[in-house]
Structures are given as C-alpha cells and as structure tokens.
Amino acid sequence: MSSFSDFGLLPTILDALAREGYDTPTPIQSQAIPHVLAGRDLCGIAQTGTGKTAAFALPILQRLSQQPARAARGTCRVLVLGPTRELASQIAQSFKSYGGRLPLSTAVVFGGVPLGAQQRQLAHGVDILVATPGRLLDLIDRRALSLSGVQILVLDEADRMLDLGFIHALKRIVKMLPRQRQTLLFSATMPRTIAALSEDYLNDPVKVVVTPPATTVERVDQAVTFVPSERKRELLATLLHGQNFERVLVFTRTKHGADKVVRHLSQAGIDSAAIHGNKSQPQRERALAGFRAGHTRVLVATDIASRGIDVEGVSHVVNFELPNVPEDYVHRIGRTARAGAAGSAISLCSDEERPYLRDIEKLTRVPIPVVAAPAAMRLAANPPARRAPEHPAPQPRRGAPQQARGGRQGRGTERPKHASNGNRHHDMAVAADPRPAFLRRPPQGNSRPNPRGNQQGKSTFQPVRP
C-alpha cells in the first residue's frame, strides 16, 4: 500500500495523519495494517523508529470505532503492554494524536507515581489502556481493574519486557484475559523465548519482519576510539565542547555511571541531565522535556531508560561505555537516525570492553571505523580549519579497494574476513574538513553527502595507516 487512504481508514484518522505530516506508510505499516484491520493476530519483528506504534495504533482505533460499545466500569477494551514508563507514555500519546477526534478514551498507567489518580481514571472504564506490567498487576490486585473485557492485546517491545524479568507478570496477566481476543506482539529481536511466547499467546499469527538491525546501523556514521577508562571523561568533555555536538545522547551501562558522567560534565562546564530508573517519574519527564525542547544539550541515559525515547534531531550518540548486550548498541545508535534522518555515533572503548565491540560487529556485520583518541581530542578542540596531515597519507596500493578496513560498506557488500582483526589503531586521513565524521555536522535527511567521492558514497572515514 502506498498511501494511508488505501487502507480504508476513517477520514478522522486520515486527517490526523495529515496533521502529523505522514505521507506514506512505512514498511511495517504497509505490511501490518491490513492484517490487523482484518482481525488477525500478528507477530512483528521491528524496532522503535520503524513506525511500529502507528502500525498497531491506527487499525486498533479503526476497529474500536466500528464497534461503538463502551468499556464497562473498571475495564478496558484494548490493553497495550510496554516495558518502560517512557515507552508507555509515548504509545498513549500516539493513540491520542491519531485518535484524538474519535469518541475513544485512552489512559496510561506505570509505576513510580501515586496509584490514586490512575485508579480514578479506570473507574469509568477506558477504551485503550497502555500499561507497564508491574503497575497493571498492582491495579488489578487493588480491584481497580478487570481484564475480562479486553478484545485486543498488544505486547510491545516484548524482548525487552522479558529482559527486564516481566515474564511472570506477563503470564499472570495473560491468564486473566479472555481467550477470544486479537493479540499483536512486537519485538526488536526474535530470540527463542519470544518465539515461544508467540507460540503460546498468538493464534495463527501473520509474521512481519522489517528493518533488520544492520539496516539502521548503515544509516549512522560510526566510529570507535580506544581509550583507557580513566581518560574517557576528559575525552567526552572535549568532544562535547565541539560545536557540532548539538543534541547528544550519552550512554552508560549503569545508573550510577550516568550520574557520575553528569557530575564530571558539570565540573567541565557542560550542562547535562541524566535519565535512568532511579530517577523519579517527574525528574525523568523533566529531563526528557528539556532535551526535546533543546534546553539541555546533553542527555545521559542508561539502556533501559532510553528504550522508546523518541526525540528528533539527535546529532550524536556517544557510547561512554559499550553495552554488554550487542542489540542495545543498535538501539542506542538508532536514536540518532530517527524517521529516516542520518546521524553520528562514537563509542569510547576501553581494553576491557573489546569483547563487547567484537560482539557488536558480529551482530551488525558492519566493521566500526577506528579513530585514534589523541586525534579525536585534538581535532575536537581545534576549529575545522585546513590542517596539514601529521602523517602523509599513503598512496593507495594499485588495485587495492578504496574502502579498505574500517570503512563502512555498502549494503550487501561482502566484508573482508580480516575486517576487524589486527591492530586497529590508525590515524585519519585529512580532507577538506580534517575532522572525523563524528565531529562534523551530521547530514540531514536521507541523502548522505559524499565528500570523498568514494565508490559507495557512504563512508566519511578513511583510515590512513593499516
């Protein structure tokens, strides 16, 4: 389907999409919407950023509108479960944006805030309830909600819900649902546990797979710098002083680590905010709102807190620490390639983290170009004036491919076997703008500039010395 009107959606919904500026359905929307409208169960393998929320929200709004029966007191007609408060809020917001002019009610419930207001909201019954599993069970245990009227269940980011240990909560919840229902499951990955969940909870589902991780990865300009742990702070501060780091997400593995980074940045005169599970809901919302509005240039986040964060115009992702789960790397750098835009990601990798880097490259099948830390710091500190190369760039060997090790490769290009082995330290070639790509302003939109006129027109990195 090349247009939203082809789905036969209600004019009110089409108007809302026009207001949102959506012209064409994304692949997950084209593939999922007709099946969901037809009442089929669906298992969608898609990550945040593919438009998966609208892929389930639009047909659900349409189906609910076609069955005008109201929800009974203390019940809901649609239950959407997601792993984090941020994701739950964003899903509820999407339902409100797309269905705001329909006579349907939407509520969102998650932990970390008082129960009372949520209880009162549910008392009259709601059409669409978006919830995190723990808080949902609290409300059920307090008899504020019954799931006996649920007609459609959505499990969003199911893999992350399992990672976070929600499996028992999910099992309890699903037992309380009517057997006769429509179930939609979305997951970024398809490990065996998710396949089993799909088998247990879905009935003859349609399977839709979009955007394998490597596709997102290829849209982002990546670099890795090897740097001892104790020098990371200094390097981070230097990078962030660079003008091109306009809106930056910095990732740490732990909550404690995120707070430490914020403190160190503050000492270096850089304003930042942290977002992680130990922060209260209002603190998290404030940090996110400040970042969205551009008041806070740097947001320091842990993987869990960042899931589902949808902020446009993130210019750079900095992995202060590499994730130990390789899929998280893909999610992290995907924050800077939202809705088709391209961005840059730089990873600061200590010696102890090299195994994580190997796992990431194995998953994405894209070698991450290496830039030397001293060069990165010097260049970040200096304005982008023309500078003579410190090491004369070698002439390419005759017959050698332009994209040698470390360069990004075009989709479907075979990666050389030795691509990420051997000595990874090398300096960068100096072109018109001597800084590595991650220090330059990221290109806007889908088209990427091709400053070197290289074969694929994609890589902005070129290692100098093998």
Q: Is residue 364 part of the contact set for ligand AMP (CB under 6 A)?
A: no
CB 74 within 8 A of CB 121: no
Report the alpha-carbon distance of residue 18 to residue 445 in Å, rounded. 20
User: Three-class SS of residue 201?
Assistant: helix
Task: Print the binding letters for residues 304-343 with ligand AMP: x by CB under 6 A, - otherwise.
Answer: ------x---------------------------xx----
CB 440 within 8 A of CB 460: yes
Report the alpha-carbon distance of residue 262 to residue 406 in Å, rounded. 31
Q: Select 48 or 460, whichever has its Cβ closest to ligand AMP.
A: 48
Q: Which of 7, 26, 258, 428 binds ligand AMP (CB under 6 A)?
A: 26
CB 52 within 8 A of CB 45: no
Q: Which of 7, 13, 25, 118 binds ligand AMP (CB under 6 A)?
A: 25
Pairing of strands 272-275, 298-301: parallel
* Binding region for ligand AMP (CB under 6 A) out of 19-27, 365-373, 446-454, 455-463: 19-27
Least distance in angstroms from the C-beta of 230 to ligand AMP: 37
Least distance in angstroms from the C-beta of 291 to ligand AMP: 15
Least distance in angstroms from the C-beta of 444 to ligand AMP: 15
Q: Select 32 or 379, whichever has its Cβ closest to ligand AMP.
A: 32
Least distance in angstroms from the C-beta of 447 to ligand AMP: 17
Pairing of strands 182-187, 42-45: parallel
Least distance in angstroms from the C-beta of 51 to ligand AMP: 3
Q: Select 48 or 403, whichever has its Cβ closest to ligand AMP.
A: 48
Q: Select 95 or 166, whichever has its Cβ closest to ligand AMP.
A: 95
Q: Select 52 or 435, whichever has its Cβ closest to ligand AMP.
A: 52
Report the alpha-carbon distance of residue 452 to residue 432 in Å, rounded. 9
Least distance in angstroms from the C-beta of 457 to ligand AMP: 25
Task: Print the binding letters for residues 88-127 with ligand AMP: x by CB under 6 A, - otherwise.
Answer: ----------------------------------------
Least distance in angstroms from the C-beta of 194 to ligand AMP: 18
Site for ligand AMP in 209-238 (CB under 6 A): none
Site for ligand AMP in 282-311 (CB under 6 A): 310
Least distance in angstroms from the C-beta of 245 to ligand AMP: 22
CA 314 to chain CA centroid, Å, is 11
User: CA–CA distance from 54 to each of 20, 213, 353 (Å)?
Assistant: 11, 20, 37
Of residues 135, 112, 107, the one with CA closest to residue 123 = 107
Site for ligand AMP in 33-72 (CB under 6 A): 48-54
Contacts of 307 (CB under 8 A, 6+ apart): 48, 83, 84, 86, 87, 157, 160, 331
Task: Print the binding letters for residues 365-384 with ligand AMP: x by CB under 6 A, - otherwise.
Answer: --------------------
Strands (E), 324-448: 343-349
User: Three-class SS of residue 279?
Assistant: coil
Q: Name residue 328's amino acid.
A: D
List phi, psi (to 5°) of 126.
-130, 155
Least distance in angstroms from the C-beta of 452 to ligand AMP: 31
The Cβ-side half-sphere exposure at 383, using a 13 Å CA radius, reads: 1
Q: How many positions of this chain bind ligand AMP (CB under 6 A)?
A: 14
Neighbouring C-beta atoms of residue 54, cutoff 10 Å = 25
Q: Select 138 or 310, whichever has its Cβ closest to ligand AMP.
A: 310
Q: Name residue 451's amino acid.
A: P
Q: Select 86 or 353, whichever has its Cβ closest to ligand AMP.
A: 86
Least distance in angstroms from the C-beta of 415 to ligand AMP: 28
CB 426 within 8 A of CB 394: no
The residue assigned the tokens 């799909």 is 198
Instruction: Using CB under 6 A, list all residues that contact ligand AMP.
Output: 22, 25-26, 29, 48-54, 310, 338-339
